[in-house]
Each structure stands twice: as C-alpha cells, then as structure tokens.
Amino acid sequence: MDAAGFECPDVVGNSVGGIIALELARMGRVRSVVALCPEGKQSAIHALSLFARGYLSHQLARRLSPVLRQAMRFPTLRKVLMRDASAKGHLLSPELVEHLIEAIAYCDVLQTAKANIKGLFNPPTKNISDVECPVYFIWGAKDSFVSEKEMNHYRADLPDAKYMAIDDCGHCPQLDWPDMITDEILAFTNTVQFAKKT
C-alpha cells in the first residue's frame, strides 16, 4: 500500500479478503471497510473443514480441468461447479467460471496454507471491537462457508457497523449480484467521504 501510494483508502474484501480488510482497519490504515462474507470467526473444527474443502477443490480443479471446461457449457453443471461460491452459478458466463476454476487449479494451496495455518485456526479478527473506521458487512444467506452465527459475532464486535443480508446469495455476493454490490459499495464509500469532508 505504501509503495502504491495508498495512504488510507476505502477497502473491499471478500472471504479471506474480508479478514485482510478488517485487519488493515485495526491497524488504522483504511478509511472504511466493506467486508463481503468475511471469514475469521470460525471455530477450529470449521477452520479445518474450510481447509479440507479448499484443498479438495484445488485437487479436483487441477485433475479434471479438461472435463470441467466441457461441463461449463451447460448452465446446470455451472451451478453445480460454482455451488460453494454462488447461488446463481447457472447464470455466470462459461468464460467467467473457467477463469475462476483455473484460479483454484493453479494457485499454490499447500504453500498458502503452510504460510497461514496459524491464522486459519486463530485469525486476527477473533475480536475487532477496536476497529474505529466505518464498516459495512454484506452476507449471503446461502453462504456455505460463513454462517449467520459467525456474522452475528462480527455484529457483536461492531454494533454500529452497517449490515445487509441477501437471501438469494452465496459466498461471493459480487458474483450473484454484481450491480447491486457495486451500488452498495459506492453509496457507502461516498457517504464516508462526505462525512470526512464535513
């Protein structure tokens, strides 16, 4: 952020990106945070299941890539392939789904897990009550990674934070409702900017 010249930006993060955004907020490095389905309040058992699911997805995507490319042509199969990320996978374009699956297939899951294993089981967001900047939590009611109970823990830490739950939405709201999420982010950050000016 320093090298790129971002002194105190508005930050949006999804999933693990939500943890990063909230940790930056704790450090006083951001003006506001929009956290989309942020992980970070999971139990140790849930953390282990998240790792197992992530590793399995990585292995399947890498080994079955040619087959999956063919499957992406069919909306029903796209919905199945994207069920963990999206409640509307059948509406996503084959090109976007292919891009997302390739990202899963070619990321270095084991190295990433090794580097972050302590944080997975004891994330820095266990308590974020010291965050002072405006925060907006957006959660999908069909999220299979982050539960409503976990989101309520965040809300308990920051009772003044803005919160929205979306019924027909999975773990990646920006995939299911891209226009609405864009509008929500811009409306929230514009309010924060206006508040800062006055």
Q: State residue 166's pLDDT score.
A: 97
Which residues lie below 8 Å from residue 40, measured CB to CB, with a gap of 6+? 18, 19, 22, 123, 124, 125, 126, 150, 154
Averages of pLDDT over each 10 residues, the chain, 198 residues: 92 93 94 95 80 80 82 89 90 91 78 61 75 97 94 95 97 97 97 65
Shared domain check, 100 and 53: yes
Q: State residue 189's pLDDT score.
A: 95
Tokens 């006055």 belong to residue? 198
Q: State residue 70's pLDDT score.
A: 83
Q: State residue 147's pLDDT score.
A: 93
Q: State residue 198's pLDDT score.
A: 43
Q: State residue 68's pLDDT score.
A: 82
- Whole-model pTM: value is 0.86
Shared domain check, 176 and 154: yes
What is d(CA 120, CA 51) in angstroms, rounded to the nearest whole number? 8
pLDDT tens for residues 22-76?
Answer: 999 999 999 999 999 998 888 778 777 877 787 788 888 888 878 888 888 899 9
Give 61-76 as a DSSP string.
HHHSHHHHHHHTTSHH
What is d(CA 109, CA 115) in angstroms, rounded to the nearest whole number? 10
Shared domain check, 135 and 151: yes
Shared domain check, 86 and 60: yes
Shared domain check, 131 and 89: no
Shared domain check, 135 and 188: yes
Q: Per the domain annotation, does 116 fall within a domain?
A: no
Shared domain check, 50 and 35: no
Shared domain check, 53 and 38: no
The total number of structural domains that make up the chain: 2
Shared domain check, 93 and 145: no
Q: What are phi and psi of 193, to 5 degrees?
A: -65, -40
Q: What is the CATH number of the domain that holds 164?
A: 3.40.50.1820
Q: How many CB atoms lie within 10 A of CB 46?
A: 16
CB 85 within 8 A of CB 100: yes
Neighbour order of strands in the sheet with 10-14: 10-14, 32-36, 135-140, 162-166
Tell me which residue range forms the domain holding 25.
Answer: 10-42+123-197
Q: Per the domain annotation, does 87 fall within a domain?
A: yes
Q: Per the domain annotation, does 165 fall within a domain?
A: yes
How remote is the C-alpha of 149 from its chain's centroid?
16
